[in-house]
Chain A
């Protein structure tokens, strides 16, 4: 579910950001490309508006890592691989999503979502290792 909720943010007009978040409570969102945590639905909506203007989601695959219940809330973690397009370029991100959503109304409403990227220097090292492995295979 958490990956589906994340995917829904990319669809723009089809489902607006405020529909995905709990409007009556503190909402926190931690995007992978900001060093600050966004507070409130307005800030989250603004962020997604900018992200969608610059990028589009081409493909998404995900696998669940865990789910926990707390009253009407579900806390959930998943690994995702997203193929994101920006102009003529496509890049792939491997992330963990960790978030919490309310299920009271039957329509999940996010209260927290974090895009968890590993440390950059390790990502770069991993990229070199992948390139080396591909070169070795070919």
Chain B
């Protein structure tokens, strides 16, 4: 299996752990030797630095989410060095929070762009940094308004 195929397989497995709330199992896809892992989830204004912060976040996410599913598309593997790759992709997620959540219990969905840095750790590859990005607030509001306009046009024609 080539390096790109291997990373794509690992990424698919990593994202699939969201189903069933197995977020803590994501740790095994990260480089255990990295002294300063960093994870920037889209819903947080500050990134998480260090294993303790990242694991606390995964635990809290697992506790708060009733259902979660995410899919990856438009994957580009930007090879920086023989032992380092930046995976850039779009992630579409759907979630339902547990009752009592600040976000309500209605289904939620969004798309984010993700930059995920992998390094070779034979025989596999491991993540050491990952950043998610939502659309900027103003553009997001405009995209919702455009989608609503398209919906109205479609229903009136």
Contact = CB atoms under 8 A, between A and B. Distances in A.
- How many residues of B sit at the interface, in one of the four size bands? 35 or more
A94 B44 CA distance: 12
A88 interface: no
B42 interface: yes
A66 B42 contact: no
Given A100-B80, A111-B86, A117-B136, A66 B111 contact: no
A112 B86 contact: yes
A116 B83 contact: no
B43 interface: yes
B119 A70 contact: yes
B137 interface: yes
A68 B81 contact: no
B25 interface: no
- How many residues of A sit at the interface, in one of the four size bands? 35 or more
A72 B79 CA distance: 12
Contact of A115 (B81, B89, B133): B133
A111 B90 CA distance: 18
A66 B36 contact: yes
Interface string A15-53: 000000000011110101111110100000000000000
Interface of B: 36, 38, 40, 42-47, 49, 74, 76, 78-84, 86, 88-90, 110-111, 113, 115, 117, 119, 128-129, 131-141, 143
